[in-house]
Structure formats: structure tokens, C-alpha cells
A and B are shown apart, each in its own frame.
Chain A
Amino acid sequence: MSRVHRDVGVPGWIYVPALAGAVFVLLPLIAMVSRVEWGSFFELITSEGSRAALALSLRTSAISTLACIVIGVPMAVVLARTQFPGQGLLRSLVLLPLVLPPVVGGIALLYTFGRRGLLGETIDVLGLQIAFSTTAVVMAQTFVALPFLVLSLEGALRTAGSQYEVVAASLGARPTTVFRRVTLPLVLPGLMSGAVLSFARALGEFGATITFAGSLQGVTRTLPLEIYLRRETDADAAVALSLVLVVVAIVVIGFARQGRTAL
């Protein structure tokens, strides 16, 4: 069987920088794996501090992914399906955390929800203390991860188009029914991959967390913070924990790719 080539081909030299790029991304990972102390690996990642950090990271990332879904899905729907003045500007602003340095995001959150922040007094009156708590970790993660979900779902909504929704409405379905039975099922693959990306971003969150939530073991010290602190005192533990995060990231990418092919 001869296969028909439809591409015109790419210039031969282009493989050189492409390969260099691939090496640039993969080599550090290999270098890191080669530094892992396999003999004490299991001990290192199951020490009390490590387990506390991993458990906190998984718990807060899961909650912030849920929070991203709860507020991000409506945001994506409003951006993709409605028209109002200033919508383009609003979209850019909502996506701001994507390009903002996370530390800046942390500072912004601190001056909003912190004790001396914009809403600080209101929160005090309610008897709550957000900054430097686990809640703050979740908020920091949600803040930086939200654009990933909104962006990916808005794209899926635009690709799907509104023609099925028009048909559903003409069949007598109320807007809520259309949303539940037509819109959401049609963009489910996009929602899944958006949620997976948000989870990954939340899991890796560092700058906003340390600024807004601090680094208190078992309360706000997530895995990336733990790795950063251990790097000074116990490099072997830092490397072992880094590998754990790499494995989690690879699993997440696998999920995201699956979601994309299902689309």
C-alpha cells in the first residue's frame, strides 16, 4: 500500500532548532530524575512534612478546581453566548491572572481579603479570618487557575455554536433545560480538559499562595512551598518531591489529551 503524501514538507534545517527545543525541555527533567536518591526515595516522600504538604496540595487543588467549575462555567457561558458593551475588555481582564506574576496576584488578594484589605473589616465583622489560612490557599489557587477553565470552555462553546440550543428552544425547552440537557453535554470534553488544566495550575501554584497564605505546615504549606523550603536544608527530599509533582503533571497531561481527542 502506497501512502499519498499531501504535505509539501518542511525545510530540513527546521529540525535542528526543533530538536534543540525538545532537549531544552526534557534534559532538566532527566537531570532531576538522575539526582533522585532511589534508596531513600520512599522515606523522603512519606516523611511527616511531605505527607502533610501532599495531602494539603491535593485537597486544596481539588476544592479550587470545583470552585473554578462553579464560577468559571457561568463566566464562559456569559462570555460566549451573550453580548454586552465592554465584553471584550472584561474578557481580557478576566484572563489577566494568566499573564500576571502570581506574586502580584497574591498581593492583590492580600489587599482585598487581608485584615487591612478592602473587605478586611467586613470579613472581621463576620468573625472570619481569611489571610494565612487554608481558605486563602484555595482562593489563591482559584485566582490563578480560573482563566484556564474559562478560556478552554469558552473556546469549546464557540466551536459548538448555538444552533443546537436554538433547536432545543424551538422544541419548547426553557433556557435552564437547554443549558442542562444540550449546552453542557455538548461541551463536556472541553469542560473536562479545562478542569484538568485548572487542577494542574492549582497544584503548581506558589507565588500567590506564599504571599497571601504564607507557609504554615499542614495549614498553608502546599507541596511547591515544601519543595522550595526543603531545597535549602534537604536537597534530596526536594528532588524526590519534585519528581512526585512531575508524575502528577504527566498524569494530568494524559487526561487533558484524552479530553481533547474526545472533542
Chain B
Amino acid sequence: MTFEFSASVEERGVDVSFTVADGETLALLGPNGAGKSTVLAVAAGLLRPDRGRVVLDGRPLTVVGDGARQAWVAPHDRHIAMLAQDPLLFPHLTVLDNAAFAPRSQGVRRAAAQATATQWLEQVGIPELADRKPAQVSGGQAQRAAVARALAADPRLLLLDEPMAALDVAVTPALRQTLRRVLADRSVVLVTHDALDALLLADTVAVLEEGRIVEQGPAADVLSRPRSAFAARIAGLNMLVGTWRGDGVHTPTGVDVHGLVTGPAPTDGEPAVAVFPPTAVAVFRQPPGGSPRNALSAVVTELEPQGDRIRVRAGDLSADVTAQAVAELDLAPGSEVTFSVKANEVSVYRL
């Protein structure tokens, strides 16, 4: 019960293979033009690769190339639904009829299809919008409706193409939580630019650069210790995993990190992650006293120039400071430092 994908499209310089296990979410991270859209198009049956093999649940969908018996399944018969940046709700149908589109197309009677649709609209939190036309809902609401419509098709695999890239930053955290809930037990390929999406929605991450997968592994590993240049640039987020203890994330090394809870609040003892960008970190040689900041003791392992800033690495943590600050603090590998970050720069998520 898996999705096996391998394809090469010479015209676009793409040659990619991966598998998605049943119920697993794979995030494809990569810069523009890395071949992410090509991968999705091949998977959905919109593009015929020069060589390739796409198999879902043991059923060959696309088989092109030497030796093997060729196969081609039309897009509508693949049980693969797609959700793009643009919700693309059918403008002439109400939100409810949009969500009922897939069951209706599969021959389900109108009443039963609408019942399924209503159930999915409730799942994504917009049952009250059922009778509206797409032009009468906001971008975030439209994307929720598009999620409901895709899930109502009961696809064996869901392809998400930067589902939150076109949305207002104010609505993305809530939609991300909704996606986390409804995608939990599904097989998903998620294309994204956002390390946080990958961390919170995906089990595994594959980094795509110039049409090749350059890095692949469990989401938390790839994102906290990126080896490829792209992953380092977009990820490089500081992520401290631990358990939630009343007012902070308690890490196994005995540090408490305080921050703002985003999404549903974790309960005591539940696993949680504290996330903050390197740019939010201030570096001190002496622990700063008396301020409401998170102070993390660390030993510098590496100094790495990044444009006009220098990234100070200390194990899994990193901070971005100016070259002047590095000089003033006399930083070098082995220096004992304190990384300080304000609680309101830290986002805490339940895992």
C-alpha cells in the first residue's frame, strides 16, 4: 500500500525517485525551477515522462521506458487528487456543490453526495458557507473549501502544491492546523517553500535541487541539520523538541524554552516543539541577567558567512549576527556563549 514514483523528464532536466508509505506525508522542498511541479504533473498524469514508473497501491499508473510493459492511466482514473496554490473552486457552483463534485462525478446520488460534502465542510470548519458562491468567500475560506472538495473525492494520494503560498499570513497557522488534522492518516505529497509546513505536516522531507533529490530523511532531521544549500537557507530554523510543562517546552537537556503557542495548546507532558529563526537570536559571552528572555548555553562549533551576516552554529542551534558582533565578542569555535531569544519570537507547536 504505497506510492512509488520514479521519472525522468529530459526537457526539464528532472530525474527523481521516491516512495510514500501508506499514511505518510512527504514534503518536497526546493527552489523555484527545481522540478517540483514537474514531479506533481507526472504523478497526476498531466505529463508523460521520457522514462518512468508511477505505481499506486500496486497499480501501475504510468510506465514508460525500456523493457517494461507500458502503462498509462488517465488523470480522472488515478485516485490522485490535487490541491494547488489557487483554490480553483468552480465559480458557477456553490461551496457545497463544489465539495460534492467528486462524489457526484463518481455517480453518487445528489442527496448522499451533499451529505458527504457537508461532513467535509464541517471537518475543515466552514459548514456555514455551504450556500455561498466562491466569489463570496475569502481566500482562506476558499482554500478550506478546496481541501474539503479534494478530500471528498477520497483520493488514495493527495498532491498539495504550496497550498498556503497565496494566503494571507494571518490565516495560514489556522489552515495549517486544519491540514495537520485532516491529512494525519493520508498519503500525501506536499510541495512547499516553507520549512514550518514541512516540519508540521510532513513525516519525511526530500530536498529537490536542479531536478535531483539531494537530501532525504525524517522531517525533523533534515530541517534541523540540513546538508544541502537550499535546505540550509530556507530551513536552518532552530527547533527544540521536548515535552510541554505548563509554560514552556522542556528539552531532554534540561532547558525550558518559553514561547507563544500556535494552534491547539499542548497539555502537560505532551511532545511539543519550540521554533525560532536564527535572526531572532542574540549572542552574549556572559548570561544576560534579569530579562524575560530564553537563555540557552552553548558552545560555538562553526562560523559560517551568509551574505552580510555570519551564522554562528552551536550544535543544533544557530544565530545570525553581524561580522562586527563576531569581532567584538571574539567568537571562534569553542567559545562558550549564551544564545538569547525573546519569548514572543518563539513559536510553540504541539507535535
Contact = CB atoms under 8 A, between A and B. Distances in A.
Interface of A: 163-164, 166-175, 177-178, 181-182, 185-186, 188
A246 B91 CA distance: 37
Nearest to A185: B92
Nearest to A170: B82
A131 B78 CA distance: 52
B312 interface: no
B102 A164 contact: no
Contacts of A167: 82, 84, 88, 90
Given A166-B46, A177-B105, A181-B101, A171 B92 contact: no
A202 to B, nearest CB: 29
A163 B86 CA distance: 10
Nearest to A166: B46
Contact of B81 (A170, A181, A185): A170
Interface in B100-120: 101-102, 104-106
A178 to B, nearest CB: 8
B69 interface: no
A170 to B, nearest CB: 4
Contacts of A166: 44, 46, 75, 82
Nearest to B75: A169
B76 A169 contact: yes
A173 B76 contact: yes
B76 A174 contact: yes
A178 B80 CA distance: 16
Interface in B72-99: 74-82, 84, 86, 88, 90-92
B149 interface: yes
A175 B74 CA distance: 10
B22 to A, nearest CB: 20
A172 B88 contact: no
Nearest to B76: A169
B54 to A, nearest CB: 14
B153 interface: yes
Interface residues of B, number: 26
A173 B90 contact: no
Nearest to B46: A166
Contacts of A168: 90, 101, 105
B101 A173 contact: yes
Contacts of B78: 170
Nearest to A188: B92
Given A169-B76, A171-B149, A172-B153, A164 B105 contact: no
B124 interface: no
Contacts of B82: 166-167, 170
B105 A173 contact: yes
B101 A170 contact: no
B92 to A, nearest CB: 4
Given A164-B90, A185-B92, A186-B91, A174 B46 contact: no
A164 B98 CA distance: 12
Closest 8 CB pairs of A and B: A173-B105, A171-B102, A169-B75, A170-B82, A169-B76, A185-B92, A171-B153, A167-B88
B92 A186 contact: yes
Given A170-B80, A170-B150, A175-B76, 14 more contacts: A167-B82, A168-B90, A169-B76, A170-B44, A170-B76, A170-B153, A171-B81, A171-B102, A171-B105, A172-B76, A172-B102, A173-B76, A177-B105, A178-B76
Interface string B124-163: 0000000000000000000000000110010000010000
Nearest to B153: A171
B93 to A, nearest CB: 8
A172 B90 contact: no
A99 B153 CA distance: 48
A164 B81 CA distance: 13
Contact of A171 (B74, B84, B101, B159): B101
A172 B92 contact: no
Nearest to B106: A172
Nearest to B77: A172
A178 B75 CA distance: 12
Nearest to B92: A185
A95 to B, nearest CB: 29
B44 to A, nearest CB: 6
A9 to B, nearest CB: 34
B46 to A, nearest CB: 7
A177 B86 CA distance: 22
Interface string B266-293: 0000000000000000000000000000
Interface in B177-200: none
Contacts of B88: 163-164, 167
